[in-house]
């Protein structure tokens, strides 16, 4: 029996900076999960992953990450992706530098 496809986003790490990035619908890379393309069709997800893999000059380690729809765009579908979306854990660097209260 085949498994049911769940929504995904394409994610990777920026080659030069190492930041977590997400593939947007227009083919650009964004550092904000909420701006990523939420893909609900498995065939399209595989095509987008191939497109991401062809951008080895920009990103490394591209893969499909589980996500779900949210009011402000895609939300993490797994706790690991939640950690990646929030940025490095060694504050005050990257996305976490914007957070002032813990």
Give this prediction's pTM.
0.82
CB half-sphere exposure, 18, CA atoms < 13 A: 4
**Which alpha helices (DSSP H) does 1-102 contain, by range?**
42-53, 79-86
Residue identified by tokens 């496809």 is 5
Domain extent listing, the chain: 8-95
Phi first, then psi, for residue 34 (nearest 5°) are -65, -15
The whole-number pLDDT of residue 102 equals 40
List, for residues 31-42, the tens digit of each pLDDT value.
Answer: 999 999 999 999
In this prediction, the residues of the chain whose per-residue pLDDT falls under 50 are 100-102
The whole-number pLDDT of residue 86 equals 82
């Amino acid at each position: 029996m085949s498994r049911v496809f769940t929504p995904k986003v394409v994610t990777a790490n920026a080659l030069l900076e190492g930041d977590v990035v997400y593939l947007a619908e227009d083919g650009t890379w964004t550092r904000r999960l909420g701006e990523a393309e939420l893909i609900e069709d498995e065939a399209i997800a595989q095509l987008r992953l191939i497109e991401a893999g062809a951008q080895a000059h920009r990103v490394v380690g591209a893969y499909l990450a589980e996500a779900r729809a949210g009011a402000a765009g895609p939300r993490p579908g797994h706790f690991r992706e939640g950690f990646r979306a929030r940025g490095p854990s060694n504050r005050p660097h990257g996305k976490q530098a914007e957070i002032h209260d813990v």
